[in-house]
Structure 1
């Protein structure tokens, strides 16, 4: 059984929030890696997922929330293809 990968971020209030990595996606056309995260918080909706783009800035990895609808849909489409 594969072990869950957990990531911890701070929310706008400075509180730690845990997420499970659901999938890692690479989009060839954008030459970018993305991660899909699900919140592990008790009050989280299990259908909610967050897509983050993995950017390398000056040798450090940054995880930036994808807010662009077109980019989000591209990642979602690739994820759905990976489930088949």
Structure 2
């Protein structure tokens, strides 16, 4: 079974919202660049129900959070792929 199920995608802001089937928690995913990697990869960050509702209702509200994720400032919320 697939672990991450997207149920909202913002192509303009380059993020997705969905549910982690392993934990039942909510997430925001966005492409990030590794420090030593030239390529981008998809990273998943935990969010709460309020953030999910706000970001889904108005994707522009996620801009600051998405930028923080891409810059490594939300590392504590990063979901381990394992």
Q: Structure 2 length as normaliser, TM-score?
A: 0.41
In the superposition, the TM-score normalised over structure 1's length comes to 0.40
Higher helix share goes to which structure? 2
Report which structure shows greater RCO (CA 8 Å, sep ≥6). Answer: 2
Please identify the structure whose Cα radius of gyration is greater.
1
